[in-house]
Amino acid sequence: MKSRILINISHRNYGFILILTIKLYICHQKIKNTMLKMILSGFLIFCLGLCLAQEVPNVSITTLNGEKLNVSKIDSSTPVVMSFWATWCLPCMEELTTINEKYEDWQKESKFTIYAVSTDDSRTTSKVKTVVKSKGWPYTILLDPNQTLKRALNINSIPHVILVHKGKIVYSHVGYSAGDEDELIKKIKECNSIH
Amino acid sequence: MRHKSISIVLLFFSIKSFCQLSVNLESNSQYYIDDNKIKLSENEADQRFRSNNYLNVNYKLKNFTVGAQLESYEPKALLNYSPALTKTNLGTYFVNYNNEKAGIDITLGHFYEQFGSGLALRVWEDKQLGISNSLLGGKIKYTDPDQIVTLKALLGKQRFGFNLSDGVVGGLDAEMRLDSLMKVKDFRSSIGFSYVNKYEDNKENSLYPKNVNIYSSRLKMEYSKFALEFEYLYKTKDNIKQVSTLDPNNIFSGNAYLLNLSYATDRFGIIASLRRLENFNFYSQRDQIGNIYHNSVLNYVPALTKQYDYSLANIYVYQAQPRLAFLPQKKSGEIGSQFDIFYKIKKGTPLGGKYGTDLSLNISNWYGLKGTYRAYINNIRDYKTDFLALGEKYYSDQSLDIRTRLKDNWKIALVLINQFYNTYRTEETSGEVKAQTVVLDNIYRFSKSSVKLELQHQWAEGYHGNWAAGLLEYNFNKNWSFFINDLYNYGNPDKEKQMHYYTGGLVFRKNSTRIQASYGRQRGGLLCVGGVCRFVPESAGFSLGISTSY
């Protein structure tokens, strides 16, 4: 059954037909298993999500200087990267450090801005500024200590990167392993080429 | 039920076509099995398959956002989640109106909030810890057009499983930025005040306070490379517990001081955090004081110690000790400090190597409050503490983290940790532990794939004894990776417990979807996120985690 769904996912525009198919399928199969139901509804929603790009939520958080910033007002006429991180999250630090090393080269090739959204809560939020400075990161830092933006974007875990272009979230990526940054710059370039 | 859910999904789809819908699904399931060493306890063994599921939907239309979270713990919640979390139900729902121009943000329904550092009030959610402490009621936030003053007011009852806590919670918070008034170059400053009230009936005992209030004031200053943050809080008389029941004869006030100082310049930074807590936990329902599931918690009291990402460094984890108690132990709070130093050695220098080296040093020391405790006739109790004197040592650690690149595609980290853990005081059992841990972490990148190899060893006197651990993670490509992980407690004084805790699994990631399937053993102990911990028992079995959002 899974394979059947997966095949259909590639035809994004047929999402609606797909759902009807699955609905009929389920009606015939009388599935009693809760878990299977869960997985199925998960896949359904997954398919739906592919249909449309999400917008940036209407939420305000603060910059390192204490100024408020409504993220839906960020100018994304050129691609905007938002990386959700925390000082205690090793893969996040890894990712932002790696991007920093490539930042100059990337800037030469493409136009984009990076916001690093710290989800550090009050246990570590006072460390953010010091860490950023000592690492010499060029990113604009946003503070999201009670996960207001993270929750509004429905982000479950960090590291999590989203790419915003013209007000829409065009790419998102959860987790970080070495090399993921290449995918990110590829997507940035794609945005710029549409532009 | 099935038809209903499908119809809901269809409805989402049609709505999504017109407006702004975002959906998020998280599911964590486990099938517990018994192997030759680890068995599920008898009272839990009736359900071997357990699953926690969260479906969150947000819908935005102009200035309005509507959202809800459906939660399902079927057939039962994962081991050691709060017993209040059972079956399937609507967990949270809200309507929010945010008008940026007018500076008004109003929420009705369930909401999350934090005042200052959270010592007075923090309601938040952490699925891994089983914390979902949102308030159900109303919240209004106002910011003036120049962004000088921010005011917040809220009223509600706190979520407790799928029900509500007994107390009614009200809160006010005001924050004002002073920099525009002073106009000094490179200088920024703000002050803030909060007031939080919990009202709860006291029919059972007229001595119990109906109202418990927290008053707090805070100050922030930044000048050039220096920064200072100070917060002082006072809590009016509140119940305490003796062992697990409310003390019928005694109520006490509490207070807290928090000071952060930092200096940051290019490639160098130092931070000092100092904190003193005295009887400073805060619950929306008095009989929940000190409960292990974090039910009804209103404020946030994290341990101010370094949060490690390495498994062996997380065996002896300190948890903040804000409680006042006379039984089973006499203690009234904690006092201590944490220092962090970051330094980046320039590339091209002998120590920095070709790529530069990152050093970070963390030192923390936490003590009980020094004081005297008295009991009078009829169990009337009292105590006195010295303000800045250190009592018995609860925890200390020193750690050095060195990170560099050996080659263009090879990153390496060496971490050295020395810990002292007072088991008698923190876990209220007996003894103390001194542990030294070494971690060697490697990340090696090939052209399409990458490998992470982590080697760890811990020498410990007492408690679990010595450990060795290894983790190998191979990322085939940008979507697929697998890992194997083993923690071997070879030095446990109890021969029966000298065992391997191994796990192997497969991870799939694509866009914002992550699916992880694994099989293995979970070490029993504290599972901590952000300085708050949940106890998890030893277990073995299959687990499946799915998380996706758009």
Instruction: Tell me what the mean pLDDT of segment B51-79 comes to.
Output: 92
Q: Which of residues 76-115 of A touch B (CB under 8 A)?
A: 88-90, 94
ipTM for the complex? 0.86
Q: Which residues of A127-164 are buried (b: 16+ CB within 10 A; e: fewer)?
A: bbbbbbbbbebebbbbbbbbbbbbbbbbbbbbbbbbbb
Report the residue from A66, A162, A177 with minimal CB separation from B190. Answer: A66
User: Contact B209/B324 with Cβ under 8 angstroms?
Assistant: no
Report the residue from A42, A57, A131 with minimal CB separation from B546. Answer: A42
Residues of A in contact with B63 (CB under 8 A): 58
Q: How do residues B284-309 score in pLDDT, each as one tens digit?
A: 999 999 998 999 999 999 999 998 98
Instruction: Tell me what the mean pLDDT of segment A170-186 comes to.
Output: 90
Instruction: Tell me what the mean pLDDT of segment B130-159 comes to.
Output: 94
Return the H-helix or E-strand segment holding A34: helix A34-51
Q: Assign 3-class secondary structure to B399-440.
A: EEEEEEEEECCEEEEEEEEEEEECHHHHCCCCCCEEEEEEEE
The two three-digit tokens of residue B323, written as one number: 């409680």
Instruction: Tell me what the mean pLDDT of segment A21-31 comes to.
Output: 45
Q: How do residues A107-127 score in pLDDT, each as one tens digit?
A: 998 999 999 999 998 888 889
What's chain B's average pLDDT? 91
Instruction: Tell me what the mean pLDDT of segment B460-466 comes to.
Output: 91
- The answer to whether the Cβ–Cβ distance between B550 and A49 falls below 8 Å is yes
B216/B510: higher pLDDT: B216
Please report which confidence band the pLDDT of residue A30 belongs to, taking 50, 70 and 90 as the band edges: very low
The two three-digit tokens of residue B52, written as one number: 């926690």
Q: How close is the nearest chain A Cα to the Cα of B480, in Å?
A: 10
Weakest-pLDDT range from B106-110, B195-199, B422-426: B422-426
Report the residue from A58, A171, A173 with minimal CB separation from B60. Answer: A58
Q: How many CB atoms lie within 10 A of CB B490?
A: 11
Q: How do residues B151-168 score in pLDDT, each as one tens digit?
A: 999 999 999 999 999 999
Question: What pLDDT is stored for residue B530 in this prediction?
Answer: 63
B197: region left, alpha or beta (phi > 0 left; psi from -120 to 50 alpha) = beta
The two three-digit tokens of residue B9, written as one number: 């999904």
Q: How do residues B372-417 score in pLDDT, each as one tens digit?
A: 999 888 889 999 999 999 999 999 999 999 999 998 899 999 999 9
| Domain spans, chain A | 2-52, 55-194
Q: How far apart are CA B259 and CA B219, in angstroms?
A: 10
The two three-digit tokens of residue B260, written as one number: 């952060």
Per CATH, the homologous superfamily of domain A55-194 is Glutaredoxin (3.40.30.10)
pLDDT at B460 over 90: yes
What's chain A's average pLDDT? 78
Return the H-helix or E-strand segment holding B56: strand B49-61
DSSP state of B211: E
Q: How do residues B248-274 score in pLDDT, each as one tens digit?
A: 999 999 999 999 999 999 889 999 999
pLDDT at A11 over 70: no
User: Contact B404/B353 with Cβ under 8 angstroms?
Assistant: yes
- The answer to whether the Cβ–Cβ distance between A146 and B112 falls below 8 Å is yes
Q: How far is CA B68 from the centre of its chain?
A: 23
